[in-house]
Structure 1
Amino acid sequence: MKSEYHVSVVMRDGVGEPAAQGFPRRAIQVRVVDVNDNAPQFLQSHYLIDIEENNPPGASLLRVCAQDADSSLNGQVTYKLGQLSHMAAVIFRIDQNTGQLTVSALLDREQQDVHRLTVVARDNGSPPLKSSVMVTITVLDQNDNAPDFLTPHFIFFLPENIPPLAQVGKMGVSDVDTRLNGEVEVTEVNSSVGPFVIDNVQGTLRYMADVDCEKQDRHELDLLATDNGRPSPLTSVARVTVFIEDVNDNQPQVILPSSNLPCLTISTGTTTGTMVTKIYAIDEDSGLNSEIKYTIAARESPGTSPSSHHHDDSSSSPFQLDTRSGNVTLAHGDGGKPAPLHTTVWVNLLVNDTLEPCHLETLPRSLPYRLAQTPSEKPAETPACDRHARLILLVGLGIMVASLCLFLVTVVLYMKQRKRSRGERQQRRGVNENQIPLRIQERYSSGEAL
C-alpha cells in the first residue's frame, strides 16, 4: 500500500516548551521491504471472444492482463496456458510476457464450436504465487457446407391405390451449418414432372395425383436442395426413383374368342388329345396379378333349360380346359364298338361376369358336317333311343304308303283287264248266236238225242 515513510523528530526541553529556535530537528526515512504476499490478479473474471471459422492462421484472439501488487520480482508476471488437450495445445498459443492469445490453425465450427482455455498468471516471487482465468472462444459459423442428402439416389415403392397426399418417403437432407446457413429448401428440378409434391416442413415427398402402374410403373425426378446462406447459397442434387407397385385392379380382357357369338365345329374324326379351340386373355396388371388361370365357371347341360347350369365336372364332358394355357382339348370320345360314334356340336364359350348363356344370332349357311341340335335351339334334346324309334317309325310308314300305292295300282289294272275281257266276250257272243256248240254238233252227228 505504501513502500516508504518519512518521520521528522524534533527535540524538546524537559518542561515541554517548544524548542527554541535553532534546536536540532531530525528526519528519519522508513522503507518497507516487499514480501511476496500478493498473487497476480486478472482484470476480468472471465474472458469471452467470438471468431469466425476458417480464420487465417496466426490470427490474434485477445490479450489477457494480470496485475501483481508486489514489487520487483515479486510483481513480475508471466502467462501460460493451463492443461489442454493435444489438439488445443497445437492450435492455441499465448505470449508469456504480454499475454497475447493467438490461434495457429484454422478453426472449424462443424468440428468444435466452442473452445475453453485456462490462462495461468504467475509472479517471480519466492515462492511464486499464481492465479488463473477462463477464456471461452466461440467459433462463428460460415456457409461453408452445402446441403447433404442422405443418399444420392432415393428409391421408394408406392402402391397405386395410395390415398392422395399420402407420404411417399423421407427425403433425408441436412446441412451442418447453423441458422440461415443451415436452413434448407428442397425443390424439384422439373416441377411439372410427376404427380408428387415436396413437403419441406416434414421433409417428405408426398403423392399428389393419381398414379397408375399400367400407364407408368415408375417415376424419376431430380431434387435440388438449397440453403439460405448469404451472400451465396449452396446447393446439392439427388435423384429419386418411385416404383409403382401393382394392385390387382384390372379384370382380364378376353382376346380369343373376340365375342360371345363365334362358335366352333368339331369334326367327327377328331382324335383324342387334339386342341379344338383356345381361350386367350390378357391382364394389364403385372406380376402375380397378371397371371391368368382358366376355369369353367358354368356348363349348360344337355336336356336342361338354358338357365340351368352346374359346376364343371371333367368326367361328364369330352372336353378339357387347360387352366394355364387356355387350350380346349378333346379328352375322350364315345367308347362304343366296333367304331366310336361322334356327334358334332357347337362349342359356345362365354366369358363374362354373369352366368348368362351364350345365344347365337346367326348360323353358318354351309357346314361339312350335319350339326346336332343344341339346347338353345329346342326345348329339350331327344334321347338317342327315341331318335332311332322315330326313324324306324318313319321308315315303316314309308313302306306302308308304298304298299298301299302298289295295291291301288294293282286293283286298277285288274279292273281294267276284267272290263276288257267282258267286252270281248260280249262281242263273240253276238257273232255265234245261231251256231250250235261243238259238243252239241257231235251229238247230232252221232244220233244221240238231246
Structure 2
Amino acid sequence: MLVYRPSGLKASCLLLSFLLLTAWETGSCQVHYSVPEEAKHGTFVGRIAQDLGLELAELVPRLFRMASKGSGDLLEVNLQNGILFVNSRIDREELCGRSLECSIHLEVIVERPLQVFHVEVEVKDINDNPPVFSVSEQKLSIPESRLLDSRFPLEGASDADVGENAMLTYRLSSNEFFILDIINKKDKGKFPVLVLRKLLDREENPQLQLLLTATDGGTPELTGSVSLLILVLDANDNAPVFDRSVYEIKIYENSANQTLIIRLNASDADEEINKEMIYSFSSLVSPSIRKKFLMNERTGEIRVNDVIDFEDSNTYEIHVDVTDKGYPPMVGHCTVLVEILDENDNSPEVAITSLSLPVREDAQVGTVIASISVSDRDSGANGQVTCSLTPHVPFKLLSTFKNYYSLVVDSALDRESVANYGLVVTVRDGGSPSLSATASVSVEVADVNDNAPVFAQPEYTVFVKENNPPGCHIFTVSARDADAQENALVSYSLVERRVGERALSSYVSVHAESGKVYALQPLDHEELELLQFQVSARDAGVPSLGSNVTLQVFVLDENDNAPALLPPGSGGGGGAVSQPVARSVGAGHVVAKVRAVDADSGYNAWLSYELRPESGGLRSPFRVGLYTGEISTTRALDEADAPRQRLLVLVKDHGEPALASTATVLLSLVDSGQAPKTPSQMSILSTGPEAALVDVNVYLIIAICAVSSLLVLTLLLYTALRCSAPPIERACGPLKPTLVCSSAVGSWSCSQQRRQRCALGRARPRPTSWPSAPAFHHVLYQRWKWKNNLLEGTTLGSHDSPILTGVTLPP
C-alpha cells in the first residue's frame, strides 16, 4: 500500500503494492491496485500487462485499450512497457465524496481473440482537507440567569477526508466560565457542547469572545477554528427543554408530501408569555434540508415537503430550536436524525459492450462474443441482480467480475440450420416486487465451407441421336451447395479419362458456371453406343469441397448407312454376279443368293430384297425372296427364255427414310449336262419345293422360340445387374462382326466390325442377331419408332436406364 503525503507538507511517498486476484476461465480476471489521491502525473501504479499475463509485443497488434466508467482519463497505460500510471489529478473527495471505500474500476479489452479484464484501483485517502466550520463566527445568546451546568450545543466542523483523517477533536480557548464537552452521536462523529461552569453576570461581562478549534486525526494534523461570540442576556431565566436531545426516525423513500415524520414536544418552567414557544429549524440546517422538510412552528410537527430519494441521501440530520416568548427569549435545542429506508424503485440497467460479431459457425465452445455489465441503484436485496439468457440457444452467460458477464458459445453452431440468433438478456433484482430490464443482441453466424455441392441424383441417363451438330447442348447438370456466398459458388468440370485411344474432352465439354454439357463433335452410334463419364462440381470455398455425378450418354441410331453388298459381288451398288443355271430346273429352285449387310442397328439394319421391274421383263422366270435375298425360279425354264438373264436386285433397309443399294445378277441358262453342281446346289436341288416349305416352317418356329427365350433371358440379366453390387466399369474394345446368313424366313444382318461400341459402362447382354419373321419385325419396328420418338430429348434417372443394343427395346 502506498501512503502519499502532500508536497506542501514536505512529505514523501512510501511503498506501492498490488494484489493479483483470480484469473477466470473466460479470459477475464481481476487485478487490484492502490494509489494515494493527489499523486503526481506519471506515478507508478502497477505492471498491468505483466499482471494480466499479456506480452508487451502484442498490446498494439491486439488493440489493447482501457475504459473507465465515469472516471475519465485519471489513469493511463504505457503501451511500450505495460505500466499503469497516474495520468491526471485524482481527488478522492471529488470522486467518491464521503464514502469510506473509493475505487476506480477499469475495463481492459484486448482483441484477436477478444479478452476482457477487470482492474480495480483503490484510491487511498490522504489528509489534504482541514476541518472547516460553516461560519467564521457563532453567536450564542445566554441569559445571565442560566444555571450552572447549562449546556449550549455548538455547530461542529466538517472534514472532507475519511477515516482517521476525518476524526475530529475539539478544544476551547482558556476561560473561566465555560468548558467544552463532546457528544458522540451514533455514526455521526463528535459534536461540541458548551457547559456553563460559572454563573454569568451581564453587568460584569456583557459578552465573551472564545475560540473553538477542531483538529483532525491525520498525520500531520490539520486544524480549523471558529470564533464564539457569547452575548449575556438578562431576564427570562428558564429555557424550553425537549424531552430528548436526539430523536431517531426511520421513513421509507418516496413518502408522499405532508407525511408526518415526528411531533416534537418541549416544555418551559416559566409562566405566561415566557412559557409560549415557537419551533423552528436551527440556523445550522442547510437549505437542502429546509427544502425536503417542513416545520410547523406552533405544534412542532415535521412533515415531508419534497421527494425523498434513498439514492440521493440515506440520512438527514435536522437541528431544531424551540424559543419561548419571554424577554429575553430563551432557546432549547434538539437533533432529529432521519434515516431513509430503501424501496425497490429502480429497475436494473444492462449494457452490452465489446461485441465480436459475426461469430463463425466453427467457433469453439467458450468463445467470447460480448461483454455485458449490469447495475442497480438500489441497495441490499433491491440492488442484487441476477442475469439470464433466452432459453434454448447455443450460448450462455458466464460471470467474470461482480456485475460483469461474458456471453460465450455453449454448443456447436450450424449456419445452415440457424443463420441468426436473436438473444434477449434479462436482468432481475431481488426486490419485492422484483423489477427487471432486458437487452437484445442479434448474433449473426458467419459461414464456413463445411458443405460440399450435392447433385439431385448420383447418376443421369441421357439419350442423344447420332450425327448431332458439333457443340450441341445435350444435358445440364446442377448441384446445390448449402453454404453461402463464395462457399456456395459452384463450378463444373469434366473428370478427365480416356475413351479408347482418345481423351474424354475431345467428345464432350461442360460449362464451368452453368453446368451445361455440350457434344464437341458429331457422335456415331456405330463407333460409340454408350459414353459414360463423370462431371465434378466444386465450390469456391477454402479449402474447396466437391462431388461427382455420373452421366450415361446413349447414342441413338439413325439410318445413315445404306446396305452394303457382300462378295461375290462388287460390294457396291452396281456390280454383276454371274451364275450358271440348268434349263431343266423346276419352279422354286434357288439359283443364286444376294448377301448384304447394314452398318446401322435395329430396324435401320433390317433388309428386304426385291427385283426391279426392268429385270427380265414381265415374263421373267425368276423372283427374289423378300427377306432372304434368294433368287429362285417361278416356273420351269423353256427354250424361249434368253440364254443370259440380267437381274437387278434392290436391297433396301427399313429406316426412315429408307436407304437402298442395287445388285446386278447375271444368270446363264445352260443344258443340264453342262451345268456344274456345287455341293450347295446339289443340296438345294435334292430338297425340292416341298422340303423348302417344310424348312421355312421349322425355321419360323425356331426363330420365334429363340426370340422369346432371348427376351426372357435379357430381362433376367437386366434385373440381376440392377440388384447386384456396384457397377463394374470396363472399356469395351472392338467387337467381332456377326453375320447371319440367309434362311427361308429372312435375315437380320449386322454391320462390319464396330469400334468402341461402348465406353466405361456396365456389362450388358446384347443380342447379336434377331430372327426376322415379318409380322414380328413389324410389331418391333412400330414399338421402336414409338419409344425412340418418346425418348428423344429426354433423360432418365439411374434406375430408369434401358438395356440398349443399338436401339431401345420396346416394353
TM-score range, shorter chain: 0.5 to 0.7
Q: Cα–Cα, structure 1 residues 47 and 366, in superposed 2: closer, same or farther, change >3 Å?
A: same
Q: Distance in 2 between matches of 1:76 and 1:333?
A: 129
1:320 deviates by 3.4
Contact 2:578 2:668 in 1 (8 A): no
- Match status 1:322 vs 2:625: yes
Contact 1:123 1:129 in 2 (8 A): yes
Contact 2:578 2:665 in 1 (8 A): no
Contact 1:349 1:358 in 2 (8 A): yes
Correspondence for 1:189? 495
Contact 1:3 1:33 in 2 (8 A): no
Correspondence for 1:128? 434
Q: Distance in 2 between matches of 1:356 and 1:160?
A: 26
Correspondence for 2:754? none
1:83 deviates by 4.7
Contact 1:298 1:355 in 2 (8 A): no
SS state at 2:537 partner: strand
Correspondence for 1:6? 316
Correspondence for 1:106? 412
1:48 deviates by 7.9
Q: Distance in 1 between matches of 2:336 and 2:357?
A: 52
Q: Distance in 1 between matches of 2:634 and 2:649?
A: 20
1:26 deviates by 5.9
Q: Distance in 2 between matches of 1:146 and 1:253?
A: 53
Letter in 2 for 1:292: L
Correspondence for 2:108? none
- Match status 1:274 vs 2:589: yes
Contact 2:316 2:337 in 1 (8 A): yes
Task: Using the TM superposition, name which of 194-203 and 342-351 deviates more.
Answer: 342-351
- Match status 1:240 vs 2:555: no
Contact 2:583 2:669 in 1 (8 A): no
SS state at 1:348 partner: strand
Q: Distance in 1 between matches of 2:343 and 2:422?
A: 34
Correspondence for 2:384? 76
Letter in 2 for 1:211: L
1:126 deviates by 0.7
1:124 deviates by 0.8
Q: Distance in 2 between matches of 1:290 and 1:66?
A: 89
SS state at 1:349 partner: strand
1:156 deviates by 1.8
Q: Distance in 2 between matches of 1:143 and 1:356?
A: 67
User: Which structure dedicates a bigger proportion of its chain to strand?
Assistant: 2
Letter in 1 for 2:528: Q
Correspondence for 1:390? none
Q: Distance in 1 between matches of 2:582 and 2:323?
A: 172
Q: Cα–Cα, structure 1 residues 57 and 325, in superposed 2: closer, same or farther, change >3 Å?
A: farther
Correspondence for 2:566? 255
Q: Which runs of 5+ in 1 are unaligned?
A: 303-309, 311-315, 335-339, 372-450
Correspondence for 2:608? 293
Correspondence for 1:208? 520
Residue 333 (structure 1) aligned to one of 606, 615, 636 = 636
Contact 1:47 1:136 in 2 (8 A): no
Q: Cα–Cα, structure 1 residues 38 and 365, in superposed 2: closer, same or farther, change >3 Å?
A: same
SS state at 2:483 partner: coil
Correspondence for 2:532? 220
- 1:11-22 alignment, distance < 5 Å: 11=321
Structure scoring higher RCO (CA < 8 A, sep ≥ 6) equals 1
Letter in 2 for 1:263: S
SS state at 1:36 partner: coil
Residue 348 (structure 1) aligned to one of 635, 647, 661 = 647
1:197 deviates by 1.7
Contact 1:9 1:25 in 2 (8 A): yes
1:121 deviates by 1.8
Q: Distance in 2 between matches of 1:104 and 1:354?
A: 80
1:267-314 alpha-carbon deviations (Å, 9 max, x no partner): 223243332222222222222222222233433453xxxxxxx8xxxx
Correspondence for 2:510? 198
Residue 349 (structure 2) aligned to one of 41, 51, 55 = 41
1:125 deviates by 0.8
Q: Cα–Cα, structure 1 residues 46 and 120, in superposed 2: closer, same or farther, change >3 Å?
A: farther
Query: TM-score w.r.t. structure 2 length?
Result: 0.37
Letter in 1 for 2:396: R
SS state at 1:298 partner: coil
Contact 1:265 1:347 in 2 (8 A): no
Contact 2:320 2:333 in 1 (8 A): yes
User: Which structure dedicates a bigger proportion of its chain to helix?
Assistant: 1
Letter in 2 for 1:36: N
SS state at 1:181 partner: helix
Contact 1:40 1:122 in 2 (8 A): yes
Q: Distance in 2 between matches of 1:287 and 1:357?
A: 23
SS state at 2:588 partner: coil
Contact 2:576 2:664 in 1 (8 A): yes
Q: Cα–Cα, structure 1 residues 173 and 181, in superposed 2: closer, same or farther, change >3 Å?
A: same
Q: Distance in 2 between matches of 1:369 and 1:4?
A: 151
Q: Cα–Cα, structure 1 residues 367 and 348, in superposed 2: closer, same or farther, change >3 Å?
A: farther
Q: Which runs of 5+ in 2 are unaligned?
A: 1-310, 498-502, 652-658, 676-811
Q: Distance in 1 between matches of 2:341 and 2:612?
A: 123
Letter in 2 for 1:255: L
1:28-55 alpha-carbon deviations (Å, 9 max, x no partner): 5444322223332322599884221233
Q: Cα–Cα, structure 1 residues 174 and 185, in superposed 2: closer, same or farther, change >3 Å?
A: same
SS state at 1:74 partner: helix
Q: Distance in 2 between matches of 1:280 and 1:293?
A: 11
- Match status 1:65 vs 2:377: no
Contact 2:342 2:378 in 1 (8 A): yes
Q: Distance in 2 between matches of 1:289 and 1:28?
A: 123
Q: Distance in 2 between matches of 1:260 and 1:45?
A: 99
Q: Cα–Cα, structure 1 residues 13 and 167, in superposed 2: closer, same or farther, change >3 Å?
A: same
Query: TM-score w.r.t. structure 1 length?
Result: 0.63
Q: Cα–Cα, structure 1 residues 356 and 12, in superposed 2: closer, same or farther, change >3 Å?
A: closer
**Identity over aligned pairs, percent:** 26
Letter in 2 for 1:195: Y
RMSD: 4.0
Contact 2:611 2:648 in 1 (8 A): no
Contact 2:644 2:669 in 1 (8 A): no
Q: Distance in 1 between matches of 2:533 and 2:523?
A: 15
Larger Rg: 1
Q: Distance in 1 between matches of 2:354 and 2:521?
A: 60
Letter in 2 for 1:33: L
Q: Cα–Cα, structure 1 residues 276 and 364, in superposed 2: closer, same or farther, change >3 Å?
A: closer
Q: Distance in 2 between matches of 1:290 and 1:93?
A: 76
- Match status 1:94 vs 2:404: no
Contact 1:41 1:131 in 2 (8 A): yes
